[in-house]
Structure 1
Amino acid sequence: MLVLLAAFPSGAADPRIGSWTLISAQSSLNPPNRLSVTDVRDAVHVVMSGETHLDFTAKAGGHGAPVPGNPGFNQVELRRIDKRQAEVKEKKDGALVATVRERLSKDGNELTVTTASPGHADQITVWNRTGGAKTGRDLLAGEWTQDLGKTRLRQGLALRIEPEGGGGVRFLGEFSYTARFDGKQYDLKNSRNDTVTLGLVDAHTVDSIYRRDNQVTQKDRWAVSADGQQMTLSTTGTLETGQQLTERLVFKKQ
């Protein structure tokens, strides 16, 4: 420990400091997020599993349909825009919570879902067809699996890491925190985890350990290239659903 402290004093700079843009993503969940869309006469049956669980049947034309057992919203309204696009309004006790736009690729194999909710940035997810016909009354019908890597890239993930007084750093991305390299746990904001602990491995490498309910749930290793222009994030973690997350994200310095 004394050797480490001598090599990397508390005032050592975080090699991640700067603004970064995602340029490559290899991401997977086990088991993956899945979506099933089934054409049932004059309605659509939707089932989603993974991070989000949904099971409802709705008719097109803006008619309201109940969504039982979901804390975020309890009613949906489905509207067909054209053969390759649909819009779903999610409501909670009659109040609009989010508007979801679904768009099918020309080859029918990729589904892009954009969720817009007041006060939040649009959320984009990308799904690959893994089953079901691409023809028929409903072109969106089929079995879909989320492509987490494409989802990351479409979301355009950007990071900003700034120096903070006393040898700390301020991290701004999908979530945020202010922390120091002192082995202590620091609170996270807008994260599925509760705290983060930072460790400076060497002049180009940072380890982040995340905890939820006092249990380690995720480990990140950030490796910055020798010229400081590229950063690779390697992640392993467990979501609240029990799904195993593995990612390798590459960022370019702005």
Structure 2
Amino acid sequence: MVPSGYTRVGEVGGHIRTVLLFAFFAFQAGVADPRIGSWTLVSAQSSMDPANKLSIMTVPDGSHVVMSGETRLDFTANTHGKQAPAPGNLGFNQIELHRISKKEVEVREKKDGAPVATVREKLSNDGMVLTSTTTSTGHTPVITVWTRSGGTKDPKDPFVGDWTQDMGKTRMQQGSVLKIDADGSGGVRFSGGYTYTAKFDGKSYDVKNSRNDTVALALVDPHTVDATFKRDNQVSQKDKWQVSADGSQMTLTSTATLETGQHITEKLVFKKQ
């Protein structure tokens, strides 16, 4: 995205120098998007303030689950797999809980009877680590790792207790692939967990299969791309893509504001296929 103003960094002979001079020259010279190609995710880290907290309690014939942080969830699920109402939750209003084994459960989220997402939760052998994998149509599976932080460790129900999300663990499933192609008219076609086609002209372009509505791109230098996303006409996410000098590795640093108002920073590293 080309900013509407310039940042003054000094004056020489009465001429204003700007931090955008090199970026402008690079764009005029026809420098291509350094991201073009296919990439595979090799590592991911994220941080959030405050960190997510998860509490699971037993109730008659079910479990009461409360999660705060990135997404606020509060529902009671029947342990016999029967569908239960879950009002007030973002994205779903019905829930099903299925016991796969003593240390593994499957939660099915629905919206007015239609499947929305499936969450598979698995406990470590010592019952101190809970790994949750969320899958939904059109989105990259998300892996969240929780560590037991307190509460009663009930031998009859090892999921019961208080859990804290481990932000140092991978949130996104490793091995996911990005594909970025030139669109033939100075822009790019991006395909990953979401898709868009956009030019480097600072204008907003539609994003599909995303919680964001639009994206605007800026070619900062021959190795760096900035992407600004908006939701409901408000900036909701800023991404910086940096490609290594040899073109074999790409690092994405993303900062986003969630619907809850909380902020998340995520760093993903990709290698070229």
User: The TM-score by the shorter chain falls in which range?
Assistant: 0.7 to 0.9
8 A Cα contact 1:123 1:155, kept in partner: no
CA distance in 1, matches of 2:125, 2:108: 24
Could you state the TM-score of these two structures normalised by the residue count of structure 2?
Answer: 0.81
Distance (whole Å) between structure 1 residues aligned to residue 79 and residue 121 of structure 2: 14
Identity of aligned residues (%): 62
Question: Distance in 2 between the 1:3 and 1:122 partners?
Answer: 35
Residues 190, 197 of structure 2: 8 Å contact kept: yes
Task: Spell out the pairing of 1:64-75 with structure 2 (5 A cutoff).
Answer: 64-70=83-89, 72-75=91-94
1: CA distance between counterparts of 2:215 and 2:113? 38
Cα drift, residue 31 of structure 1? 2.2
- String of CA shifts for 1:145-171, please: whole Å, max 9, x gaps: 334553434354321111111111111
Query: Following the alignment from structure 1 to structure 2, what is the Cα–Cα distance between the partners of residues 185 and 97?
Result: 28
Separation (CA, whole Å) in 1 of partners of 2:97 and 2:21: 63
1:209 CA displacement: 1.5
Note if 1:126 corresponds to 2:144: yes
TM-superposed deviation, 1:20:
0.9
Choose the corresponding residue for 2:36, options 17, 23, 27. 17
Mapped contact 2:23–2:219 kept (Cα < 8 A): no
Q: Deviations over 1:38-77 (max 9, x none)?
A: 1235431111223433322233222343222236443333
Q: Is the 8 A contact 1:10 1:181 kept in 2?
A: no
1:199 to 206, 218, 223: 218
Q: How does 1:1-254 map to 2 (within 5 A)?
A: 4-9=23-28, 11-40=30-59, 42-70=61-89, 72-94=91-113, 96-117=115-136, 119-120=137-138, 123-129=141-147, 130-147=149-166, 150-154=169-173, 156-254=175-273
Mark the runs of 5 or more structure 2 residues left unpaired by the alignment: 1-19
Q: What is the DSSP-based 3-state SS (H/G/I as helix, E as strand, rest coil) of the residue aligned with 1:5?
A: helix
Distance 1:210 1:66, change over 3 A: closer
TM-score by structure 1 length? 0.86
Q: Is the contact between residue 125 and residue 146 of structure 1 (CA under 8 Å) also seen in structure 2? A: no
Q: CA–CA distance in 2 between the matches of 1:235 and 1:71?
A: 22
For structure 1, list consecutive stretches of 5 or more residues without a partner in the other structure: none
Q: 1:43 to 1:12 in 2, by over 3 A?
A: same
Q: Deviations over 1:56-112 (max 9, x none)?
A: 223322234322223644333333222101233334455555443221122323222
Aligned mates of 1:237, 1:91 — CA distance in 2:
26
What is the deviation of 1:208? Answer: 1.2
Deviations 1:166-191 (A, max 9, x none): 11111111211111112222111122
The 3-state SS of whatever aligns with 1:88 is strand
User: How many equivalent residue pairs?
Assistant: 253
| Contact 1:10–1:167 (8 Å) recurs in 2 | no
Moved more, 175-184 or 139-148: 139-148
Structure 2 residue identity aligned to 1:15 = P
The corresponding residue for 2:12 is none
Amino acid at match of 2:180: I
